[in-house]
Structure 1
Amino acid sequence: MFAVTPRLLLRPGWPEDSGTLFAAINDEVVVRNLAKAPWPYESQDAAEFLAMPRPVLNPNFLIFSRNGKAPEFLGSIGFGDDGQGHLELGYWIARHHWGHGYATEAGHAVLDIAKTLGHPEIQAEHFVDNPASGKVLRNLGFRPTGRTAPRFSKGRGQAVDAVEYTRSLSDDDSAGDMMQNLAA
């Protein structure tokens, strides 16, 4: 499954992406904002991430620029089970690409995919010391649940308070025509 937006190409990760993925995520500032990535991040972690089986209903994508030049790797986005049976959005953007709206643009495409796949709702959260991620989530139509709860950060090696969000997909009339953006 692939998605195309005005500036981005979202596609599955392949084993040959391991070096590029490692180079982009091997940044403590990026990893500390993620729950499931370890620090220090090793090249083997990138290879294992790319080799993980992904259920068809929970795809993960690598994000590349699509600006008329050679595609540049920007980060990753996808969704999966949060461990409690809820669909959860996760994403990261390499630090030197922060502030350009890539996470929001990729997020809209992934939410369209989640809706097309029949998911009625999606959850997300951000660590309290990463308010920029909360801005992305609000721009994507997520609403704070009013709950903040500790979530273990593998990169920090400890639980960190995280602000919880939710978004209904079943009543979302802002989703575009997914057939224009999605190719299987």
Structure 2
Amino acid sequence: MISVATSLKHRLPTTIRTQRLLLVTPAMVHAPAIAQLCNNINVHKWMARLPFPYGLSDAEFFITEIVPSAAEICFAITLDDALIGVVGLALSDDHAPELGYWLGEPYWGHGYASEAAAAVLEAARAAGTRELRSRARKDNAGSRNVLRKLGFAEVGENIETEGFLAGQTMVRMLRELEPR
């Protein structure tokens, strides 16, 4: 029997094109750019699962172990063939998929996160998903603004208990998706 998460992963596209971006499955060719962009304390401080310092071996682990796992669907966000970040869904049979993303610091403030996340949201809707979850640090106004722009509503707060954000106050957000 195929799990709900695996079934959703197989219904989602492997490539998504937006007005300015191309979202593709992360591959080894992206590893150096992922390593360079993630090895930045200003990116790391917002992320629950990124080690710091972040090296090439961390990017290679992400590409070989996390990307193909049944629990994730990941897209490299590319602009003019250059990787600028990653967006994806953490998949679970127990709750709605969780939208997550990061951009390299040079790409902040240009609407790329909103554009990429909106494309993944629409792909999830087309694949039959009825709601998405997300979360952001309470003091991460930029990420919370992206999520609000996409129609997510704040539904609560909790203290993170795992990962690199343990002890931080997180805002949980939810977006219901109407069928098209």
Question: Which of the five TM-score ranges fits, normalised by the shorter chain?
Answer: 0.7 to 0.9
Aligned pair 1:78/2:88, yes or no?
A: yes
Contact 2:136 2:170 (C-alpha < 8 Å) held by counterparts: yes
Aligned pair 1:164/2:172, yes or no?
A: yes
- TM-score, normalised to structure 1, is 0.83
**Runs of at least 4 residues off by over 4 Å:** none
Q: Which residue of 2 aligns with 1:141?
A: 151
1:58-97 superposed matches below 5 A: 58-66=72-80, 71-81=81-91, 85-97=95-107
Contact 2:38 2:50 (C-alpha < 8 Å) held by counterparts: no
Once residues 130 and 169 of structure 2 are traced to their aligned partners in structure 1, the CA distance between those partners, rounded to angstroms, is 26
Aligned pair 1:4/2:14, yes or no?
A: no
Offset, 1:85: 3.0
- TM-score, normalised to structure 2, is 0.84
Percent of aligned positions that are identical:
30
- CA 1:58–1:46 in structure 2 vs 1: closer, same or farther (change >3 Å)? closer
Once residues 85 and 126 of structure 1 are traced to their aligned partners in structure 2, the CA distance between those partners, rounded to angstroms, is 17
Higher relative CO (Cα under 8 Å, sequence separation at least 6) belongs to: 1
Contact 2:128 2:179 (C-alpha < 8 Å) held by counterparts: no
Offset, 1:16: 2.5
Offset, 1:2: 0.2
- Secondary structure of the structure 1 residue equivalent to 2:129: coil
- CA 1:47–1:28 in structure 2 vs 1: closer, same or farther (change >3 Å)? same
Gaps of 5+ in 1: 174-184
Contact 2:25 2:76 (C-alpha < 8 Å) held by counterparts: yes
State the Cα RMSD in Å: 1.9
Once residues 172 and 152 of structure 1 are traced to their aligned partners in structure 2, the CA distance between those partners, rounded to angstroms, is 34
- Secondary structure of the structure 1 residue equivalent to 2:167: strand
Contact 1:36 1:153 (C-alpha < 8 Å) held by counterparts: no
Bigger strand fraction: 1
Bigger helix fraction: 2
1:93-172 superposed matches below 5 A: 93-145=103-155, 147-152=156-161, 154-156=163-165, 158-169=166-177, 171=178
